[in-house]
């Protein structure tokens, strides 16, 4: 120990201090390297935006593809249904049923025309039904004693009476009596002529035309 000099001790101390200084310098250099951090963050942000665009595009592509596939399936199903319907329609059994339906439709149309014709005839009969036995009896009761019938003609809503009367007054009386009947609307004397047959007791031939009331008028 006595041989160690003061100069040697200083040199040893200097050797220990140097590494510490070099460490400080290294730490200082590390802090200076962080100057590029903003560029690194900007690069990360750009990558995130690109990833976002890729995800959105993938979702839209998925939706478009799904919609296209769905429509394609629906169109194919519709085409299959149409083919099935055409096959059923063109089948012999379906054609036979269709022919039978057409025949029934033709028969129905014929029956409908027949029914319409019958309805018209029935309507005419209903109109003529007011000329019944009661009306004939009423007309007979309206005849004066000096008047007689030669003929009576019924045409739709009119009655034509040809007869013989002793005088014009008797014929006018018969006309008046007919007008009083409920079913008769109007009575006109068409002709009055003297009877040329000297053997006849009655002196005048006459023709009366009676207009009947409609069914609705008669009901009122």
Q: What is the pLDDT of residues 81-112, one digit of tens each?
A: 898 888 888 888 888 888 888 888 888 888 88
- Residue 131, classed as helix, strand or coil, is coil
Fold of 133-219: Gyrase A; domain 2 (3.30.1360)
Of 43-47, 58-62, 80-84, 88-92, the one with minimum mean pLDDT is 43-47
Give the pLDDT band of residue 146 (cuts 50, 70, 90).
confident
Average pLDDT over residues 137-143: 87
Distance, in Å, from the CA atom of 206 to the CA atom of 192, rounded to the nearest integer, reads 4
Measure the CA–CA gap between 101 and 86, rounded to whole angstroms.
Answer: 18
The domain spans of the chain are 84-128, 133-219
Q: Are 147 and 163 in contact (CB under 8 A)?
A: yes
CA separation for the pair 135, 123 (Å, rounded): 19
| Per-residue model confidence (pLDDT) at position 1 | 47
Residue 161 burial by CB count (10 A; 0-12/13-18/19+): exposed, middle or buried? buried
DSSP, collapsed to helix, strand or coil, labels residue 79 as helix
Which secondary structure element, helix H or strand E, spans residue 125, and what is its range?
helix 92-128
- What are the E-state strand segments in 24-146? none
User: How much is the pLDDT for 114?
Assistant: 67
- Dihedral pair phi/psi, residue 163, rounded to 5°: -155, -175
pLDDT at 34 over 70: no
pLDDT mean across residues, the chain: 77
């Amino acid at each position: 120990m006595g041989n160690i000099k003061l100069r040697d001790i200083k040199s040893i101390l200097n050797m220990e201090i140097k590494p510490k200084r070099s460490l400080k310098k290294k730490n200082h250099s590390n802090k200076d390297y962080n100057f590029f951090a903003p560029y690194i963050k900007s690069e990360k942000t750009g990558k995130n935006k690109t990833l976002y665009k890729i995800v959105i595009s993938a979702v839209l592509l998925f939706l478009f593809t799904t919609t296209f596939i769905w429509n394609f399936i629906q169109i194919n199903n519709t085409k299959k249904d149409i083919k099935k319907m055409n096959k059923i329609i063109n089948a012999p059994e379906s054609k036979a049923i269709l022919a039978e339906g057409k025949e029934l439709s033709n028969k129905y149309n014929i029956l409908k025309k027949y029914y319409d014709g019958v309805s018209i005839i029935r309507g005419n009969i209903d109109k003529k039904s007011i000329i019944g036995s009661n009306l004939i009896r009423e007309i007979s009761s309206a005849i004066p004693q000096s008047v007689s019938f030669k003929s009576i003609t019924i045409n739709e809503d009119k009655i034509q009476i040809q007869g013989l009367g002793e005088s014009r007054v008797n014929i006018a009386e018969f006309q008046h009596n007919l007008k009083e009947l409920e079913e008769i609307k109007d009575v006109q004397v068409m002709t009055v002529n003297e009877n040329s047959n000297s053997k006849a007791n009655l002196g005048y031939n006459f023709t009366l035309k009676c207009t009947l009331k409609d069914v609705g008028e008669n009901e009122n």
